[in-house]
Amino acid sequence: MSTANALLPSLMQRLGVASSAYSGGTLVVCSPIDGSELGRVPTHGQQEVAEIVRAAHESFLTWRNTPAPRRGELVRLLGEELRLSKNDLGQLISLEAGKVLSEGLGEVQEMIDVCDFAVGLSRQLYGLTIASERPGHRMMETWHPLGVVGVISAFNFPVAVWSWNAALALVCGDSVVWKPSEKTPLAALACQALFERAAKRFGDAPEGLSQLLIGARDVGEALVNHARVALVSATGSTRMGREVGPNVARRFGRSLLELGGNNAVIITPSADLDLAVRGILFAAVGTAGQRCTTTRRLIVHHSVRQALTERLKKAYQALPIGNPLTPGTLVGPLIDKASFDAMQQALVKAQEEGGVVFGGERVLHEQFPKAYYVKPAIVEMPAQTETVRHETFAPILYVLAYEHFEDAVALQNDVPQGLSSAIFSNDLREAETFLGSAGSDCGIANVNIGTSGAEIGGAFGGEKETGGGRESGSDAWRAYMRRATNTINYSKELPLAQGVRFDV
């Protein structure tokens, strides 16, 4: 029995998932750790999508009338269940997605944190009081539950993205239908089981409040096209977003898109290189380069380029690569062969465009010949070519040189994506310019930290081909509600706005 298969049954049992939920189905799930089959999950058909959305809508009609602080109590209980199951769910994430264990545990902690945030939010769904130009009138803004929220998530954060959406949607009064990546359905089954535990403790949550849809692209398309799904929150590739966005818009639904990232770090002459190396390492090779916030481009002033590049190469050579469940491992496997092939194709194209490649080769593991472990790659490029401007979901770091600061910012912005960005500088003017309106055009802009590892308190998302969506903190909750402007006349007169007269 493989390493992954040996661990799975006991994990799933403790998480409350019956063996029948991941056996006997048609969707084969493999572990990237060793390439072994973890299970065969039953899938849903398009007719079942309609039934599940109908049940979710019926649940919404009840849930919307539950006071928001009471709705927050359900999310608080979900956070408790996640705390109790953090170690088991973190291990399952590592088994199924290939993340090193500390990242798997960190993803569950992120879910716990967003539940805490949402519980507080349940008492802070504030509107506005607005001055009226008419005497004896009051204007105000109120927020109301939206409806069924469809969540489509990707393999690289198999559960956290669901929690960002579900925790907020639930306290906002919505129901949730979740279609996880077909590469990571087991963690989704576990989350659904934990939600059901929380709902049982809650006592009177309506049936169908949170549901799963397991399947391939056709299932996602049916969810996207269903008229009863008020909001589709989709995380994935730009290609996927180009299909989801127009389809939802065609029926006048709402979409919240979290798509590609081609994130850059600018290194200025004043940068603390010790700090920069540490920040770049995690951002470039964490999750084996399979984060939407992964650093893919390094824009370095020519005066420090050689020194920084040599230090990074030395650090790359020392990276522990292997089984993500082994203590000390920092780089686990790519999710599958397709990801490995895409990485190799990108490296070949970069070389054809004049790039000098360091690393990038497959690391053959004696115990796991079917798995795809790789050495992260550093590619010194003569210019920002089309290959550099394209996001490859793998640990490839392209290194570019600049001379003038404005050129560095221009390079940073000269890609279709606009998710995350960072600058390492001890020059106040450079840092503030980077954060200003003439600086980074990304949804996330950092100073002296890397591009990955966002906290849940700030709204997460990006511009341009990243999709424009915002999830998690700040006022992202507004995406899950509908706004109403109300005017109350408490006078005995009926004046019209803008001085209009309509006397009969």
Task: Tell me the catalytic residues.
Answer: 258
Do you know the residue count of the chain?
Answer: 504
Selection from 210, 134, 14 nearest residue 487 by Cα = 134
504 sits in which H/E element:
none
**Residue in the block written with tokens 């065609």:** 250
Separation CA 103–CA 164 (nearest Å)? 17
Separation CA 407–CA 55 (nearest Å)? 54
12's tokens: 């799933």
Cβ atoms of 67 and 239 within 8 Å: the answer is: no
Cβ atoms of 207 and 29 within 8 Å: the answer is: no
* Burial of 492 from C-beta contacts in 10 A (0-12 / 13-18 / 19+): exposed
What are the DSSP calls for 36-55, one per residue? Answer: -EEEEE----HHHHHHHHHH
Cβ atoms of 370 and 334 within 8 Å: the answer is: no
Degrees (nearest 5) of the Cα angle 215, 218, 220? Answer: 70
**24-52 residues labelled b (16+ CB within 10 A) or e (exposed):** ebebebbbbbbbbebbebebbeeeebeeb
Separation CA 453–CA 326 (nearest Å)? 22
Residue 19: phi and psi, rounded to 5, are -60, -30
- CA distances, 53 to each of 150, 152, 191 (Å): 9, 14, 19
Separation CA 360–CA 415 (nearest Å)? 23
- 31: helix, strand or coil: coil
Neighbouring residues of 426: CB distance < 8 A, sequence distance ≥ 6:
270, 271, 272
**Residue in the block written with tokens 């490029």:** 381
Separation CA 68–CA 272 (nearest Å)? 47
423 - beta bridge partners? 266, 447
37's tokens: 């089959």
Cβ atoms of 4 and 33 within 8 Å: the answer is: yes
